[in-house]
Amino acid sequence: KRQARDIVEEEVKRAKEAGSKGIFYVTFRWIGGTFTNFPEVSKNFKKLAKLNEFLSSETKNTDYTKREILLFEREKEKLRIFYEGIAALDRLPDALVILGTQHEATAVQEAVSNKLKTVGVVDTNADPSKIDYPIPANDDAVGSIKLITSYLVDAWIEGSKIEAKNREIQIKQEEKEKVARERAAEEKLKKETEEIRKKQRENTSARIEDKFTKPDIKQDK
């Protein structure tokens, strides 16, 4: 919703500055097929990235006219408006938060079709039955949107910290288990090598003993 644009962008920025990853947003019109036709729509993400790279290069002024560059900039701006917040999305998300489910029916339907979890601000004129986690609130009030969005982003940041900590513990545990496996393999190899050498020594001793203890029997012709 228009009332939520600045709030959403500010809160997402806050989440990223806190080190959280995997959070995306759409603050302009939802493009139909964003989820249901993701492979095709995501081509625009790559196109936007290429235009950004090209327009920031030093060779653009030598290879193209000012008019051509202006057309490229207009195309980039159009793509930026629609896709900037999701341009880094390389797969469908696990969940979708909708600030105003009645106004974003297409987004809700695409999320439901792809079996994504949905969290939605549901006003009195909206149907909460399609939302997994409905939040009854006035989706036209800036204060309401700010409160809910801030709360959700706080939870996301906290969850990201917990996930990072758990991942760190997991990595340390995996490294510990790896070292233990390597030591066990070394001990096993060492033991097997000692057993082989022991058998070799025993065989050598047996041959020497056999050579010097057996009588030399000669047959008379």
Edge-to-edge strands, sheet with 133-136: 95-99, 117-122, 133-136
Residue 92 CA to residue 41 CA, distance in Å, equals 12
Q: Reply yes or no on whether the pLDDT at 160 is more than 80.
A: yes
Mean pLDDT of 58-62: 73
Residue 27 CA to residue 33 CA, distance in Å, equals 16
Contacts of 112 (CB under 8 A, 6+ apart): 118, 130
What is the value of pTM for the model shown?
0.70
Q: Reply yes or no on whether the pLDDT at 219 is more than 60.
A: no
For residue 116, give the nearest of 138, 98, 90 by alpha carbon.
98
Burial (Cβ within 10 Å: 0-12, 13-18, ≥19) of residue 36: middle
Tokens of 105: 């029916």
Predicted confidence (pLDDT) per residue in 104-136, tens digit: 999 999 999 999 999 999 998 888 998 999 999
Q: What confidence score (pLDDT) does residue 216 get?
A: 58
Highest mean pLDDT among 2-11, 54-63, 209-218 belongs to: 2-11
